[in-house]
Amino acid sequence: MPDDAYINLDFLKLAVAALLIVLSATISLLLRLGLERRLLLAAARTVVQLMLLGLVLKWIFDHDQWYFVLALGAAMTLVAGWAAVRRVERRYAGLLLDSVLAIWVTSWCVTAVALFGVVRVEPWFLPQYAIPLLGMILHNTLNGISLGMDRFAAELAGKRAEVETLLALGATRWEAARGAMQAAVRTGMIPTINTMMVIGIVSIPGMMTGQLLAGVDPFQAGMYQMMIMFLIAGGATLGTVGVALLGYRRLFTAEHQFCPGRILRRD
């Protein structure tokens, strides 16, 4: 069992690591960086947020009921949908709903593939699998969606004359939007592709690190990481396609008209 090799951390051990925060804050004071307050706040938030997460997860692991797992997953998904929109520069009415919908459908489908098709967890809602898998997929889908939405609206706003010229020449709304859709999906996929290109060369990815620390066989940990990368790539791609399709329906009418006035720039 991996547990044999696993070394538990207690607060005393953690305090040693926390000394590095104190060191960093001292450097900030000495160099007058003015970052010590933010650093301490960030450290405090890290402690509070992760303790809460630990408590919630422990509670859910102990209760081991499918509805608690789904409820936590739903909460995580809503936050992810909201966080994806928060970073977007250009907005339109319905963007938040589109974001939540796209992230919900795609990341849950991808997680379902992992739980039922790949890992084949029994029972499927086993929280130690379902929740971290969903979390990793959400995080990366969120990034893809966020970049994709931003690019889609920017592309349409910036190439308004081209889009309208195409429509005026008889293009369907789909033909007129295709360039922007391609740009959006490409932008949403690139970070994942770049990560996959250098994975394992520049650093050991987070999940694999965790498994190695827990004593899992390195080859198995690598297999898990491969699976996660494939899921993440799928989630980011599908999520970006989804959000671009939803946005397309909002910015083009069924009469093949483009409504650039609906795109608003954030102040």
How many binding residues for another protein (CB under 8 A)? 21
165 scored as a contact of another protein (CB under 8 A): yes
Q: Which stretch binds another protein (CB under 8 A): 10-18, 87-95, 170-178, 191-199?
A: 170-178
Indicate which single residue of 71, 257, 264, 265 sits in contact with another protein (rule: CB under 8 A). Answer: 257
- Least distance from C-beta 170 to another protein, angstroms? 4
Whichever of 128 and 165 has its CB closer to another protein, that residue is 165
Name the nearest CA neighbour of 256 among 160, 173, 166. Answer: 173
194 scored as a contact of another protein (CB under 8 A): no
Q: At residue 138, what is the residue type?
A: L
Burial class (CB in 10 A: 0-12, 13-18, 19+), 101: middle
- Cα 9 from Cα 164, distance rounded (Å): 61
167 scored as a contact of another protein (CB under 8 A): yes
256 scored as a contact of another protein (CB under 8 A): yes
Per the rule left: phi > 0, alpha: psi between -120 and 50, beta: everything else, 171 is: beta
List the Cα angle 209/212/216 in 5-degree steps: 140
- Please enumerate in sequence order all residues whose Cβ is within 8 A of that of 145, keeping only pairs 6 or more positions apart, or say none: 84, 99, 102, 103, 188, 236, 239, 240, 242, 243
Paired strand residues for 90: 265
Structure tokens at 228: 């996660």
34 scored as a contact of another protein (CB under 8 A): no
Q: Which stretch binds another protein (CB under 8 A): 33-41, 160-168, 183-191, 219-227?
A: 160-168
Asked if 234 and 90 touch (Cβ cutoff 8 Å), the reply is: no
- Cα 85 from Cα 94, distance rounded (Å): 11
Q: Which stretch binds another protein (CB under 8 A): 19-27, 121-129, 171-179, 192-200?
A: 171-179
- Least distance from C-beta 19 to another protein, angstroms? 59
- Cα 82 from Cα 142, distance rounded (Å): 9
- Cα 189 from Cα 187, distance rounded (Å): 6
Structure tokens at 32: 């007058």
- Least distance from C-beta 211 to another protein, angstroms? 50
Whichever of 175 and 212 has its CB closer to another protein, that residue is 175
253 scored as a contact of another protein (CB under 8 A): yes
Indicate which single residue of 1, 16, 17, 161 sits in contact with another protein (rule: CB under 8 A). Answer: 161
- Least distance from C-beta 171 to another protein, angstroms? 5
Whichever of 82 and 164 has its CB closer to another protein, that residue is 164
117 scored as a contact of another protein (CB under 8 A): no
166 scored as a contact of another protein (CB under 8 A): yes
Residues binding another protein (CB under 8 A): 159, 161-162, 164-172, 175, 253-259, 261
